[in-house]
């Protein structure tokens, strides 16, 4: 066992003394040591219940003959960080999560690892660590939040973000605004819709790194605790059998994850996270793979923000196993941490509620995410599943902003008109830095009732964003990308079926603007200063060199 390096031999007397100060018994020294990376905190709604879930994992470890040691991991709530300086730290925190788990596991010689988290960058960071370390490991994802109703309709956190625009547009009263504030996030768990947190949990299960139904079982449910306990037992079995993540995950596993992403219309942030996770496994997952799979994969599940259904509704429809059961021909039959292959798990899928998995009548014949290219972008990403059919092709004049705050102010002050294309630049991994999400502007556009407005940015979007919102523009503005040369009034055309993003500018005009362009300078310090120097492009998953 790896842990023998800290507990065996005459020269480890002091080590054993320190372990015994933690309550470790003599007989425990013969058992596997299991590290539990626990992202519990009292600032993240998706994580406030993780203490109970982690306790269930520990019970499972004990019952299987292991010794659990839990340690803390940071986690940023994107919703609370949204719209101010805090969002600059969100994506960069993914690398800290991965690095800190690596430090803890290597320093303490754990034999196995359980990672416990719910939210956006934390789950990807934990999966990166699992594959990098490649010791027996399993993920326990915290699960989705339940919903309540406002004005007779089920609401989610997306509705709270959009309520500000509705109030500003005179569509709801101040007392109704307060209802959205009070009831849009009523329980613990990751926010209800198919935003980044829930998308990544579903893809973790699809990759085979968590037990069946872990991703969709609600955070506060007894089933979540049972799955957590089973996961604790299972990791000890993995240690004894010497089964590691790279014995389970391979290139076909990532193809399965991208396929699932396209079927459910997941968050565009997966185009950042899956390549970063794959890299830790020695697998190159290029951005072209997303479009390749999207073109041959139907979109069969429509969840909030594309509909009023939530991840809990998907759970009642049979969750990940039911999707694979119905769409078996699209998935490769890979192994999972449960010891069963995907098809075997899928065979036992059970429908408990409404069936929202539209295998026979897909919403679209192509997947929920598309990669656009053209003279405005070497590549850009859009969530097709959250766009109305009449906006899949769109042409409009640019309204250009060098930051989110000025764009949001213009939207809320009725300075944006139907037919405009809002451009928010210098928001990329290097330019912002940290590639912040643009949920406040997109929510304001929806809340103000603007139906024919698109948004283009070198930043990224929350999974809660809906409408023709194109992000991840590469090259980003700070790197000399064409998005940095745009001016108000430039004619931009978006053709999602044709995968095109173009600006109507002559080569002569482009060259003239390039000669005059100078990158803006930002005074940076601390982590963001180091991050901006080391981060690669969005197309490369915004990983660090």
Q: Which residues pair with 501 in a beta bridge?
A: 494
Q: List the beta strands (DSSP E) in 193-244.
A: none
- Considering only CA atoms, which of 417, 433, 434 is closest in space to residue 489? 417
The reply to whether omega before 433 is within 30° of 0 (cis) is: yes
The angle formed by the CA atoms of residues 463, 132 and 381, to the nearest 5 degrees, is: 25
CB atoms within 10 A of CB 242: 10
Closest CA to 213 of 137, 324, 90, 373: 324
Helices in 350-461 by DSSP H: which ranges? 404-412, 439-447
Is 462 catalytic? The answer is: yes
Torsion of CA 2, 6, 9, 15, to 10 degrees: -170
The single residue of 90, 219, 231, 462 carrying the catalytic annotation is: 462
Is the distance from CB of 398 to CB of 490 less than 8 angstroms? Answer: yes
Q: How far is CA 60 from CA 31, 335, 338, 388, 492, in A?
A: 14, 22, 14, 46, 56
Encode 39-76: b = buried (16+ Cβ within 10 Å), e = exposed. bbbeebbbbbbbebbbbbbbbbbbebebbbbbeebebb
Q: What is the largest CA-CA distance in the chain?
A: 78
Q: Kindly list the catalytic residues.
A: 462
């Amino acid at each position: 066992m790896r842990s023998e390096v800290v507990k065996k031999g005459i020269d480890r007397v002091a080590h054993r003394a320190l372990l015994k100060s933690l309550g470790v018994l003599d007989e425990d020294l013969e058992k596997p040591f299991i590290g539990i990376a626990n992202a519990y905190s009292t600032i993240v709604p998706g994580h406030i219940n993780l203490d109970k879930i982690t306790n269930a994992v520990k019970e499972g470890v004990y019952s299987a003959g292991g010794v659990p040691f839990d340690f803390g991991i940071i986690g940023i709530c994107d919703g609370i960080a949204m719209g101010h300086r805090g969002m600059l730290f969100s994506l960069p925190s993914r690398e800290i999560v991965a690095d800190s788990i690596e430090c803890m596991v290597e320093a303490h010689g754990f034999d196995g690892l359980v990672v416990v988290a719910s939210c956006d960058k934390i789950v990807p960071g934990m999966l990166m660590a699992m594959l990098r370390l490649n010791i027996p490991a399993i993920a326990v994802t915290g699960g989705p939040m339940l919903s309540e109703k406002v004005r007779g309709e089920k609401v989610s956190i997306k509705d709270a973000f959009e309520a500000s625009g509705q109030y500003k547009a005179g569509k709801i009263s101040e007392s109704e605004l307060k209802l959205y504030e009070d009831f849009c996030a009523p329980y613990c768990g990751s926010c209800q819709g198919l935003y980044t947190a829930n998308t990544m949990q579903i893809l973790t299960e699809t990759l085979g790194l968590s037990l069946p139904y872990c991703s969709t079982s609600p955070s506060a449910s007894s089933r979540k605790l049972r799955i957590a306990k089973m996961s604790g037992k299972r990791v000890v079995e993995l240690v004894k059998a010497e089964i590691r993540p790279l014995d389970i995950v391979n290139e076909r596993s990532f193809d399965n994850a991208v396929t699932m992403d396209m079927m459910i219309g997941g968050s565009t942030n997966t185009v950042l996270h899956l390549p970063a996770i794959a890299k830790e496994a020695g697998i190159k997952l290029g951005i072209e793979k997303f479009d390749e799979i999207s073109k041959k994969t139907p979109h069969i599940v429509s969840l909030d923000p594309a509909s009023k259904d939530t991840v809990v509704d998907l759970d009642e429809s049979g969750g990940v196993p039911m999707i694979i059961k119905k769409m078996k021909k699209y998935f490769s039959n890979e192994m999972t941490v449960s010891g069963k292959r995907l098809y075997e798990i899928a065979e036992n899928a059970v429908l408990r509620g409404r069936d929202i998995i539209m295998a026979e009548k897909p919403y679209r014949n192509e997947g929920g995410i598309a990669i656009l290219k053209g003279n405005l972008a070497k590549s850009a990403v859009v969530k097709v599943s959250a766009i109305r059919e009449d906006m899949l092709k769109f042409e409009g004049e640019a309204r250009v902003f060098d930051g989110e705050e000025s764009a949001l102010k213009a939207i809320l002050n009725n300075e944006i008109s139907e037919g405009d294309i809002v451009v928010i630049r210098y928001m990329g991994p290097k330019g912002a830095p940290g590639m912040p999400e643009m949920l406040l502007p997109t929510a304001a556009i929806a809340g103000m009732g603007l139906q024919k407005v698109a948004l283009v940015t070198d930043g990224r979007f929350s999974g809660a964003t809906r409408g023709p919102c194109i992000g991840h523009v590469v090259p980003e503005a700070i790197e000399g990308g064409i998005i940095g040369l745009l001016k108000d009034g430039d004619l931009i055309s978006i053709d999602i079926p044709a995968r095109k993003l173009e600006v109507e500018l002559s080569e002569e005009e482009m060259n003239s603007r390039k000669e005059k362009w100078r990158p803006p300078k930002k005074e940076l310090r601390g982590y963001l200063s180091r991050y901006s120097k080391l981060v690669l492009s969005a197309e490369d998953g915004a990983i660090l060199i």
